[in-house]
């Protein structure tokens, strides 16, 4: 039992170490020796858990998608409208991108042409945003002349842009910047200002916890 | 004289070959031997023109910035308002990103954390968008409750997102998708629908030429 716990912990440490290198250096530069060194794990232990760099990358993407799915679910359950859930999800996502190397690496791997055949995270994020916007439409929350598809394109493009720019300049992941985006977008998107939408999301204090604590290399 | 023309042509071929590899594989994977091979040029000739991969990357970024500057100038001279110039510039930029490896590589290098100290193209694009939006504001073209800074953030983030997503999925560089974005954004941004803004930009036929023909590897 103790052995199983230790194995699970080693596996998780490897995933986070790989994510840190994928996020900072890109998929290509990440070597298995660099990952095992960063994780403080022998290369034998790495190969026990993961057959290849690609399988590590797939695991990072799966964990990133799972983190964002949970984050979106939490926002959906807490927000009073689908549009507010969308705002909260993107605000939290940007904070998590800044704090959590696994989520950052998941999005980065998805837009990295050197990792052929990725882009799953991209399609999946597109689907999630589209779902929230069509739910908002059904609930009468969207302005009558807004196409849910066009609004989805704008929100997905902008969040990917925050992520891409944030890789080079962290100012793009600041809460104020995504709030500026929503302050600009919401009067166009919402059917009525009376929905009381908050462009700043659910607040920094509550938001930092899921990403910040979820993925850290224990021994780094 | 013939020698000088040939040298200039070789230099240009090297820049485009490097851009193609930077755009498709990323900065890290691009090796000088791969670039000289792609250009059909000896490694001696490459070293005659460029001392390092970094100097090649800097040249690619400079040419990309120059292409986008010219494209923006042309849009400014042809459009009847600053907002239309902004729409046209982004529409043309997306088409050029699809057609021109130098512009694609310029933006990609700018958001590539493995190329330390880049991000110039990102800052420069931010400045250009901000200029057009503040010109629009001075001309009374912006809706009264729109902050030029917030609108700049939204447009810069979205264009970077189109570029990042386009690296993994070319559908994001299609003219229809950026037109969807503007159809959604313009009613919020513009002070009056009577400005007759066209969300599709200046048209595909006119737009394809500057990027498509500007940068091609002659011997590829």
Say whether B169 and A122 touch across the interface (CB within 8 A).
Answer: yes
From B187, which residue of chain A is nearest by alpha-carbon distance?
A188
Instruction: Check if B66 contacts A (Cβ < 8 Å).
Output: no
Region of residue A53 (phi > 0: left; psi between -120 and 50: alpha; otherwise: beta): alpha
Instruction: Check if A157 contacts B (Cβ < 8 Å).
Output: yes
What is the spatial distance between Cα B157 and Cα B16, in angstroms, rounded to a whole number?
Answer: 27
Instruction: Check if A198 contacts B (Cβ < 8 Å).
Output: no
Q: If contacts are CB pairs under 8 Å, which of residues 111-150 in chain A contact chain B?
A: 111-114, 118-119, 122-123, 145-147, 149-150
Asked whether residue A13 is assigned to any structural domain, the reply reads: no
Asked whether residue A4 is assigned to any structural domain, the reply reads: no
Asked whether residue B40 is assigned to any structural domain, the reply reads: no
Q: Is residue B169 predicted with pLDDT exceeding 90? A: no
Mean pLDDT, residues B200-214 taken together: 48
Asked whether residue A104 is assigned to any structural domain, the reply reads: yes
Asked whether residue A98 is assigned to any structural domain, the reply reads: yes
Q: Is residue B191 predicted with pLDDT exceeding 80? A: yes
Q: Is residue B43 predicted with pLDDT exceeding 80? A: yes
pLDDT > 90 fraction of chain B, expressed in percent and rounded: 50
pLDDT digits (tens, 9 = 90+) for B3-14: 888 888 999 999
Say whether A24 and B113 touch across the interface (CB within 8 A).
Answer: yes
Please list, in sequence order, all residues whose beta carbon lies within 8 angstroms of the beta carbon of residue A2, skipping any fewer than 6 positions away.
none
CATH of the domain at B133: 1.10.357.10
Range of the domain at B195: 54-214
Say whether B24 and A113 touch across the interface (CB within 8 A).
Answer: yes
Query: What are all long-range contacts of B70-75, with beta carbons under 8 Å and residues at least 24 apart?
Result: B70/B210, B71/B96, B71/B210, B71/B211, B72/B128, B72/B132, B74/B210, B75/B202
The total of structural domains in chain A comes to 1
Residues of chain A in contact with residue B122, where contact means CB-CB under 8 angstroms, are 165, 168-169
Asked whether residue A74 is assigned to any structural domain, the reply reads: yes
Between A60 and A198, whose confidence is greater?
Answer: A60
For residue A63, how far is the Cα from the chain centroid? 10
pLDDT at A135: 94
A22, A125, A161, A179: best mutation site toward chain B, by most B Cβ within 10 Å?
Answer: A161
A25, A34, A93, A113: best mutation site toward chain B, by most B Cβ within 10 Å?
Answer: A113
Give this prediction's pTM.
0.82
Asked whether residue A53 is assigned to any structural domain, the reply reads: no
pLDDT digits (tens, 9 = 90+) for A126-160: 999 999 999 999 999 999 999 999 999 999 999 99
Mean pLDDT, residues A197-211 taken together: 55
Say whether A112 and B167 touch across the interface (CB within 8 A).
Answer: yes
Asked whether residue A33 is assigned to any structural domain, the reply reads: no
């Amino acid at each position: 039992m103790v052995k199983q716990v230790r194995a699970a912990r080693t596996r998780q440490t490897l995933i986070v170490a790989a994510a840190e290198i994928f996020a900072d250096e890109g998929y290509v530069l990440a070597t298995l020796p660099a990952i095992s060194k960063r994780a403080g794990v022998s290369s034998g232990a790495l190969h026990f858990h993961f057959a290849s760099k690609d399988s590590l990358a797939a695991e990072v993407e799966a964990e990133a998608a799972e983190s964002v799915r949970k984050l979106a679910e939490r926002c959906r359950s807490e927000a009073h409208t689908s549009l507010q859930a969308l705002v909260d999800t993107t605000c939290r996502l940007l904070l998590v991108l800044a704090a959590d190397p696994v989520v950052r690496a998941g999005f980065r791997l998805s837009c990295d042409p050197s990792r052929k055949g990725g882009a799953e995270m991209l399609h999946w994020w597109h689907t999630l945003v589209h779902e929230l916007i069509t739910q908002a439409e059904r609930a009468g929350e969207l302005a009558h002349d807004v196409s849910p598809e066009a609004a989805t394109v704008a929100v997905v493009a902008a969040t990917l842009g925050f992520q891409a720019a944030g890789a080079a300049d962290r100012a793009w992941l600041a809460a104020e910047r995504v709030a500026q985006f929503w302050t600009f977008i919401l009067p166009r998107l919402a059917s009525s200002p009376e929905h009381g939408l908050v462009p700043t999301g659910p607040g920094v204090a509550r938001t930092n916890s899921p990403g910040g604590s979820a993925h850290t290399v224990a021994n780094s």
